[in-house]
Structures are given as C-alpha cells and as structure tokens.
Homo-oligomer: A and B are copies of this chain.
Amino acid sequence: MSPGAPAASGRDAQGGRPLRADARRNRTRILDAADAVFAVKGPTASTEEIAQRAEVAIGTVFRHFPTKEALVEAVFIGRLDALAGQARSLAGAADPGAAFFAFLTEAVRQSTIKHTFADALADAGVDLRAYEGAVAEAIRDLQQSIGELLGRAQQAARVRVDIDVRTLIALIAGAAHAIGFASQDPAIESGVLSVTFDGLRPPVSP
C-alpha cells in the first residue's frame, strides 16, 4: 500500500453496522486500486479498470461507492488526510524553517507523482463552501495542520509573513503541476522548487 493511499474505514459511509470481513477487505482493495490508477491516469480512468486492478467485479465497486464521484471523493479525502498527517508529524520539529521546507518538498514531490492530486490539492486551497461533509472536514483539517507549520516558520522569520495558508496551498499545487509535466527532468524540478522556495523567504532587510 502506497504512502498516500487512503485507509479503509471498516464501516460504511453511513456509519451503520460493521462491515462483513469480505466487504471490508474489498473496500480496501478498491480504494488502493483507485488510488493507484487515478495517480497515473487521472480521475477519468474507467471504473472497469479499477475493478480489474482490485480483482473485483464492477458491481462490487458500485456497492461500496454508489457513484464514481463518490469513489473519487473517497480517494481525494484519503490523500488530504495523508498529507495532513505528514504536516502534523513535522509540527513539533526543533527547526520550524527546516520543517516547513521539508514538508513543501515532500508535498510537491508526492503530488507530482500522483498526477491527479495536484488538482485535488488546488481545490483544497480554495472555496471551502463548494464542499460539504467529509470533504470539507478533510480540507479544514489540512488547512489547519499546514497553517501551523506555516505560522511557526513565519514566527521564526524563515518565511515571509504576507502569505496565508490558502496561498501557500495554491503554490504547492502549482509547483506540483508544473513539475508533473516535466517529469524525467530533474533540472526543471529543482529549478521550480528553488524559485518557489526563494520567493517564500522573507525579504532581506535593507
């Protein structure tokens, strides 16, 4: 299971009774398969392909996720959660500046590999009102955990103070997107990261 893969909850979306063992297993397989396939082909990949990769019949996919949109959403939430977890694990680091830039590097690199995720991430920076329920909660959580990293780095004077979380998320998404197309070219990757990082540093006082 890849690092960013979403975890199966063990209960269905309605929070009803516990799932049967085979159902829980299949739900995980589907989520993992979807995560992998979406990462490469984007959310337009067919449900059939995901079912095949999960070694499950297509009916099973639709039993767990009533629409394709629901499946995409579930994968989306899984990735947001994973990223928020990473941010949180760096929140207590001794050097706020280093923690901040380490997180950025990792976030961009992961989003680069997971093609779709850059788009998903970009959404997270924006209008929260467009979402509701679980997605909105995941976004709020991510914004909060990244906000903490950012705030600490700003207090330590390692990051300019005139940007907020949403701008930062937009920047991450943008850099990931830019690099995504340039895969196989480390020069472009390091160039984009370098420019973005330098732009985030506080201006040198005259």
**Interface set of A (CB-CB < 8 Å, partner B):** 44, 118-119, 122-123, 125-127, 160, 162-164, 166-167, 170-171, 173-182, 184-185, 187-188, 191-192, 194-200, 203-204
Contact = CB atoms under 8 A, between A and B. Distances in A.
A100 B62 CA distance: 52
A198 B191 contact: no
Contacts of A182: 122, 125-126, 166, 170
A174 B167 contact: no
A125 B181 contact: yes
A191 B126 CA distance: 14
Contacts of A178: 122, 125, 170-171, 173-175, 177
Contact of A181 (B44, B123, B164, B185): B123
Counting from the closest, the 6 A-B pairs by CB-CB distance are: A199-B199, A174-B178, A167-B191, A195-B199, A174-B174, A122-B181
Contacts of A166: 182, 185, 188
Given A122-B178, A123-B181, 14 more contacts: A119-B181, A122-B177, A127-B184, A166-B188, A167-B195, A170-B179, A170-B191, A171-B191, A171-B192, A174-B178, A175-B178, A177-B178, A194-B199, A198-B203
A175 B195 CA distance: 12
Contacts of A160: 195
A198 B200 CA distance: 8
